[in-house]
Homo-oligomer: A and B are copies of this chain.
Amino acid sequence: MTDHRPGVEAARADTPRFSPLYRQIKGLITRGLQAGEWKPGEPIPSETELAARFGVSQGTVRKAVDELAAENLLVRRQGRGTFVATHHEERTQFRFLRLRPDDGGPPGRMESRILECRRLRAPVEIARALGLRGGETVVFIRRLLSFEQRPTVLDDIWLPGALFRGLSAERLGASVGPLYGLFESEFGVRMIRAAEQLRAVAADREVATLLGVAPGSPLLQAERVTYTYQDRPVEVRRGRYVTDSFHYRSALG
């Protein structure tokens, strides 16, 4: 790279007064990830190699990789290398599902059933959340998650139609792992982070029937917006959780 000295950067002067070198390196690595230069699950080049490529010291690369690892874009494995994060792994499996059995242990046998999958014009709120122009089509998915045969989660999912061409109930049914793994492998869309808004709601008749609870039962509702690279929203999800013997874990730091 050229012109990455702090002073030079400062001279550029716009919104962020100063962008340190390691952040620029971070940006370059992110660009490589986004462009698919290294695929999920694969290792990226070693720190010394990246340092040579970018013409900076290893310490600077290290700090860039540190941040990317903290954001779960990369995974460090001592003695082996640094790998591109993937949703096809035990460890990342439940990163976005915060529901846990009250008795502690990991969730037991989980079964996913697709109830619906069709295309429709995006409702205004969905379009707004996804940054779509009015009238664009979205893929709508409704699915039911059961733990040990007990229906527990009803998810309604909206995805930008343009990014998920060819997504169908059959395709979903044929897949085994987590949805985000499918999205990553089949559509090249990598879910990076999400924000949820939680509230307690009363189950309406339709939802109550699907979840096997009495109408009016209290349900935990999670409205999620999921983002890919560049903080681009690519999924809206409304989940309803039966919290009789499960709870949603939240860590306050």
Chain A residues in the interface with B (C-beta under 8 A): 71-72, 95-96, 98, 102, 193-202, 216-224, 241, 243, 246-253
Contact = CB atoms under 8 A, between A and B. Distances in A.
A194 B219 CA distance: 24
A218 B243 CA distance: 12
A98 B250 contact: yes
A221 B243 CA distance: 10
Contact of A196 (B202, B221, B241, B249): B249
A-B residue pairs, 10 tightest by C-beta: A199-B243, A218-B218, A200-B218, A200-B200, A197-B247, A198-B248, A194-B252, A200-B220, A196-B250, A193-B253
A200 B251 contact: no
Contacts of A250: 98, 195-198, 222, 248, 250
Contacts of A221: 200
A243 B195 contact: no
B243 A200 contact: yes
A200 B197 contact: no
A247 B199 contact: yes
Contacts of A251: 193-196
A216 B195 CA distance: 29
Given A247-B197, A247-B199, A71 B253 contact: yes
16 contacts: A71-B253, A95-B252, A98-B250, A198-B198, A198-B243, A198-B247, A198-B249, A198-B250, A199-B220, A199-B246, A200-B200, A200-B201, A200-B220, A200-B241, A201-B218, A218-B219
Contacts of A246: 199
A201 to B, nearest CB: 6
Contacts of A217: 202
Contacts of A198: 198, 220, 243, 247-250
A6 to B, nearest CB: 14
Contacts of A71: 253
A80 B24 CA distance: 26
B195 A249 contact: yes
Nearest to A221: B200
Contacts of A195: 249-252
Contacts of A248: 197-199, 250
Contact of A220 (B72, B193, B196, B220): B220
A72 B95 CA distance: 23
